[in-house]
C-alpha cells in the first residue's frame, strides 16, 4: 500500500521530519511512503532540515540491509520535493494578481482588492512565506494549485488514481498549523481539492486525514518588519480558523482528524520572518503528530476524532505517547534506534576511521569478519555508505536531544540527552543550541531512554562482544549492509 503525506509550511515540514525518524525505527505499517512539501518559502530552515533528513534516510535505504526494521519503509520524495505557488523572484500580492492591469481594465475588481488587502499586504515580498496572514495565502493557493497540472501535482494525481483502482487503495494525510500563514491557508485548500478529485475517481477506496496543529510554540516579534507573524495573535487566529472549519464543514471532508496543541507555548530561540534563519528546533508535539500519522495509516478504519491527553500536565513520559500497536512497541523500537546511533557514532565509526588511517584491523574482530574477509574497500566505504549512516545518526540524536528540552511548561522525560549532547551558546545572539558531544558517556548506553533504572555500566562493552560474535545469514544483506544489520540487531535491549 502507498501512503501519502503532505507537509504544509514550516510546522508541517517538522512533523514530516519526525515521521522520517519513526520510519527509520521500523514503526510504519507495510507499504511505501510518498512525501511532498508545500511552502512558498523554499529556503525555510525548518523545511531544509526536514529535506536533509529525508535525503539521509533515502541514501541509507540503498544499503543492502536484508530483513530488518532499520530503514524498512521505502520512502519516495516527490519531484520537485517542495511546491511553491510562486515562480518569479521577489513575489508580492500586487504583482501576483496584476493589480496595475486590474485598475486599468476592471475598476470594480481593483476596488475589491483594495478593500480586502492593506497597502502593506499588497507590496510586501512573499518570498519568505505568507508571514502569518492566511488571507493572503488562501487567495494565492486557490489561484495556483490545480491537481493534474504541473509537477509534483500531476504525478501525485496519477499515483492516487492507480492506488484507488488497486485493492489496498490510498491513504493521504495533510499536516500544517492552523494559526500561521502557509499551513492555515494551505491545509483546507489542498484538502478540498483532493476531496473533489477523489469524488471523481473513487472515493470509497481512499481515505484522507488531517493533522491540524494548534499553537504549541511562540517567539519574539521581528521588530523591523511591518508584515509579520505575531505569536500574540496565535489564539485569535486559531479561534477564527476553527470557526471557519465548523461553518464551512471543512472537517467533513476528512476520514480522521487530529487536533494537537499545547497549553503552555514553548518559546523558539531565534525569531525570524522566514528563510534559512527560520530553523525552529524540534518539539515533542511533532512526535505526537508523527504518531498520529501512524495511527491513521495503520488502522483499516481510522477513528474520526480521537482523544488523548497526558497523565500529568507537568510532565511528558513514554507512557504519555499514544501508539496503536502499543506503547511498549514504540519504546522498544525507538530505544533500539537510539542505541544503534549512539553506538555507531560513539564507538564503531571512530574505530573504522582509526583502522582506515592506521590499519591494525585485528583490534576489532568484527571488522575482520564484516569487512576484511568480505574484501570491502574501506576507503571507498568511508566516503559513501559509512558516512551516510553517520550523517543520519547525527540527525537522529540531535532530534532526540531537542525533544527532551522542547517544553517550557512541562518536564520531558524521554531521552537522556546528556549522554551524547549538550547545550551551547549559538551564533545568533548567544541563544542556546543543542550540539553533539565529542565524547559520548559510554556508561549511559543502557539508559538512553530513561527507562532502565538497573542499567549496566558496561553494556556498550557487552555489545562489542556480541557484535564480534555476530553472524548475518540473510542472503539479502550484503556489503556494508551486513555490518549495519548486525550492529542494529544486537542493539536490542539485553
Position 231 pLDDT exceeds 60:
no
Does pLDDT of 275 surpass 70? no
What is the average per-residue pLDDT within 167-182?
A: 87
Least confident among 28-37, 60-69, 327-336 = 327-336
Q: Give me the percent of the chain exceeding a pLDDT of 70.
A: 91
pLDDT of 221 above 50: yes
Most confident of 28-32, 135-139, 162-166, 456-460: 28-32
The terminus-to-terminus CA distance of the chain in angstroms comes to: 34
Reported as a pLDDT band with limits 50, 70 and 90, residue 274 is very low
What distance in Å separates the CA atoms of residue 83 and residue 126, rounded to the nearest whole number? 15
pLDDT at 403: 93
Domain ranges of the chain: 2-91+126-308, 329-490
User: Which residue would you say has higher pLDDT here, 204 or 479?
Assistant: 479
Q: Is the peptide bond before 36 cis (omega within 30 degrees of 0)?
A: no
Band of pLDDT at residue 167, cut at 50, 70 and 90: confident
Tell me which of 349 and 189 has the higher pLDDT. Answer: 349
Of residues 458 and 324, more confidence is placed in 458
Q: What is the pLDDT of residues 59-103, one digit of tens each?
A: 999 999 999 999 999 999 999 999 988 877 778 877 787 878 878
Quote the cell numbers at residue 396: 537522529
Residue 110 to residues 40, 280, 308, 446, Cα–Cα distance (Å)? 24, 38, 48, 66
Question: Rounded mean pLDDT of 31-50?
Answer: 91
Mean pLDDT of 368-380: 96
Task: Identify the pLDDT of residue 225.
Answer: 52
pLDDT of residue 273: 45
Task: Tell me the pLDDT of the chain averaged across its residues.
Answer: 87
pTM exceeds 0.95, yes or no: no
- On the question of pLDDT at 224 being above 60, the answer is no
Please identify, in words, the CATH class of the domain defined by 2-91+126-308: alpha beta
pLDDT at 263 over 60: yes
Q: Which residues contact 474 (CB under 8 A, 6 or more apart)?
A: 66, 67, 68, 482, 485
pLDDT at 288: 95
Residues near 297 by beta carbon (within 8 Å), at least 6 away in sequence: 3, 28, 29, 31, 171, 173
Average pLDDT over residues 172-191: 86
Q: Name, of 27-36, 183-192, 243-252, the range with top average pLDDT.
A: 27-36
- pLDDT of res. 232: 63
Highest mean pLDDT among 36-50, 174-188, 357-371: 357-371
Amino acid at each position: 500500500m502507498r501512503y501519502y503525506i503532505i507537509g504544509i509550511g514550516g510546522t508541517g515540514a517538522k512533523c514530516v521530519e519526525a515521521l522520517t525518524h519513526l520510519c527509520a525505527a521500523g514503526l510504519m505499517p507495510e507499504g511505501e511512503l510518498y512525501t511532498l512539501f508545500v511552502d512558498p518559502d523554499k529556503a525555510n530552515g525548518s523545511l531544509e532540515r526536514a529535506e536533509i533528513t529525508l535525503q539521509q534516510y533515502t541514501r541509507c535505504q540503498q544499503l543492502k540491509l536484508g530483513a530488518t526494521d532499520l530503514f524498512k519503509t521505502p520512502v519516495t520524495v516527490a519531484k520537485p520535493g517542495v511546491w511553491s505557488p510562486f515562480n518569479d523572484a521577489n513575489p508580492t500580492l500586487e504583482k501576483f494578481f496584476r493589480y496595475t492591469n486590474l485598475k486599468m481594465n476592471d475598476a470594480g475588481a481593483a476596488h475589491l482588492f483594495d478593500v480586502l488587502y492593506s497597502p502593506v499586504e499588497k507590496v510586501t515580498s512573499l518570498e519568505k512565506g505568507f508571514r502569518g496572514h492566511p488571507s493572503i495565502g488562501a487567495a494565492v493557493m486557490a489561484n495556483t494549485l490545480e491537481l493534474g497540472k504541473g509537477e509534483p501535482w500531476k504525478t501525485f494525481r496519477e499515483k492516487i488514481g492507480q492506488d484507488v483502482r488497486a485493492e489496498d487503495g490510498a491513504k493521504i494525510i495533510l499536516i500544517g498549523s492552523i494559526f500561521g500563514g502557509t499551513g492555515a491557508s494551505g491545509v483546507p485548500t489542498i484538502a478540498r481539492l483532493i476531496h473533489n478529485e477523489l469524488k471523481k475517481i473513487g472515493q470509497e477506496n481512499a481515505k484522507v486525514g488531517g493533522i491540524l496543529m494548534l499553537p504549541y510554540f511562540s517567539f519574539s516579534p521581528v521588530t523591523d518588519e511591518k508584515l509579520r507573524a505575531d505569536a500574540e495573535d496565535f489564539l485569535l487566529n486559531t479561534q477564527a480558523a476553527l470557526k471557519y472549519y465548523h461553518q464551512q464543514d471543512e472537517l467533513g471532508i476528512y476520514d480522521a482528524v487530529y487536533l494537537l496543541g499545547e497549553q503552555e507555548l514553548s518559546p523558539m530561540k531565534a525569531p525570524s520572518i522566514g528563510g534559512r534563519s527560520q530553523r525552529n528546533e524540534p518539539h515533542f508535539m511533532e512526535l505526537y503528530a508523527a504518531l498520529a500519522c501512524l495511527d491513521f495509516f495503520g488502522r483499516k478504519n481510522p477513528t474520526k476524532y480521537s482523544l488523548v491527553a497526558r497523565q500529568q500536565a507537568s510532565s511528558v513520559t513514554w507512557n504519555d505517547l499514544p501508539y496503536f500497536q502499543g506503547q511498549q512497541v514504540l519504546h522498544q523500537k525507538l530505544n533500539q534506534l537510539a542505541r544503534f546511533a549512539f553506538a555507531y557514532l560513539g564507538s564503531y565509526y571512530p574505530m573504522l576511521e582509526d583502522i582506515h588511517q592506521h590499519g591494525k584491523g585485528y583490534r576489532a574482530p568484527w571488522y575482520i569478519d564484516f569487512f576484511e574477509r568480505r574484501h570491502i574497500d574501506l576507503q571507498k566505504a568511508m566516503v559513501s555508505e559509512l558516512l551516510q549512516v553517520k550523517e543520519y545518526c547525527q540527525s537522529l540524536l540531535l532530534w532526540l536531544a531537542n525533544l527532551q528540552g522542547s517544553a517550557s511548561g512541562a518536564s520531558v522525560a524521554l531521552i537522556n540527552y546528556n549522554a551524547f549532547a549538550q547545550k551551547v551558546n549559538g551564533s545568533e545572539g548567544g541563544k542556546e543550541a543543542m550540539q553533539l558531544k565529542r565524547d559520548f558517556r559510554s556508561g549511559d548506553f543502557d539508559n538512553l531512554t530513561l527507562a532502565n533504572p538497573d542499567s549496566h555500566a558496561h553494556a556498550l562493552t557487552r555489545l562489542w562482544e556480541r557484535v564480534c560474535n555476530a553472524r548475518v545469514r540473510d542472503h539479502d544483506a550484503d556489503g556494508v549492509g551486513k555490518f549495519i544489520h548486525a550492529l542494529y540487531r544486537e542493539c536490542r535491549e539485553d
